[in-house]
Structure 1
Amino acid sequence: MDTQVWIEFLKQNWLVIAIGLVVLFIVLNVVRTVVKWALAVLIIAGLLIYSGISLDKIGEVVSTVKDETVDTIKTEAMNMMMKEAKEAKYTSNEDGTYTVKAPNLELVGSSTSREVEVSFRGVPVGKWDINDTIQGFINDARNNAGSK
């Protein structure tokens, strides 16, 4: 989301936002419990509706941020694979799966599948299709295990 858009929005609607915040603080200080929070939600919803921000736009922004975050994590994990390939350890499991562990990465896959489950710094980041980078990482890990 562009910060310039938010700055322009705040410049154009600063008075309404200020009045809304003052009313919100008065309501939060004067009214009790459930009614207080119901009024607070109504005031915030009113400000959002007045500002022209719809739930669809909020959903689009959340979706865009999520996609950008996943892409960033995937790029970082791919870069980490190239850096840590020499330290990766390949383990073949009895059930036909394999595990590749490096200091910041862990891949779990099956010899019959073209996907691996990837964990980056201990956080699962999903199933990824095996591309050239991932296959190279797996091959390097196999070679590391064989050379020791």
Structure 2
Amino acid sequence: MDIEVIKEFVMQNWLVIVVALIILFFVLNVVKTVLKWAIAIIIIAALLIYSGISIDQIKQTVTDVQSSTMDTLKKEATNLMVNEASKATYAKGQNGEFTITSPNVEIKGTVGSDKVNVVLRGISLGEWNLDNETIRTFVNKAKGNVTAPAS
């Protein structure tokens, strides 16, 4: 969604928007039932449809924001792995499982697997491949700081 498009729409259709807001205000203040919310939703939906914003555009915007956020979190996790590798501790678990913990990043995996689960400050970033050079370096440095087996 482009801000310029929204500005242009508001400038060209300010009268329609004002009328819709007056009707919406009237409905919300006068009608006291569930019907008022149904009418309010219809008015808002009509404005959105009239403005040319489609559900597909809203979905695309949400997808773009989500993708951008995940990319940013992955970059931050990678940078923290580089910076915190010396502080990371490696804990062996049962059945070949291991956990690597640093102040901000936690990695869980299984020995022999090519995937690990990455958690950044309590937020799961999903499964990552071990073929990433940064992750391999982080794991190898953490192995030097082995703690007691996890129970």
Structures share fold, TM-score greater than 0.5: yes
Amino acid at match of 2:92: S
Alignment RMSD? 1.6
- The 1:85/1:8 distance shift into structure 2, 3 A limit, reads farther
Q: Distance in 2 between matches of 1:137 and 1:4?
A: 45
Q: Distance in 1 between matches of 2:69 and 2:94?
A: 35
Aligned counterpart, 1:133: 134
Q: Distance in 1 between matches of 2:12 and 2:27?
A: 25
Matches within 5 A, 1:32-51: 32-51=32-51
Relative to the length of structure 1, the TM-score reads: 0.91
Structure 1 residues 9-50: Cα deviation after superposition (integer angstroms, max 9, x where no partner)? 333333322222221111111112210110011001100100
Q: Distance in 2 between matches of 1:9 and 1:25?
A: 21
Q: Distance in 2 between matches of 1:102 and 1:8?
A: 50
Q: Distance in 2 between matches of 1:4 and 1:145?
A: 56
Between the aligned residues of both structures, percent identity stands at: 49
Point out which structure has higher relative CO (alpha carbons under 8 A, 6+ apart): 2
Q: Following TM superposition, by how much is the alpha carbon of 1:82 offset from its aligned partner in structure 2, in angstroms?
A: 0.9
Q: Does 1:144 align with 2:148?
A: no
Q: Following TM superposition, by how much is the alpha carbon of 1:81 offset from its aligned partner in structure 2, in angstroms?
A: 0.8
- The 1:120/1:50 distance shift into structure 2, 3 A limit, reads same
Relative to the length of structure 2, the TM-score reads: 0.89
Amino acid at match of 2:144: N
Matches within 5 A, 1:24-39: 24-39=24-39
- The 1:7/1:140 distance shift into structure 2, 3 A limit, reads farther
Q: Does 1:120 align with 2:107?
A: no
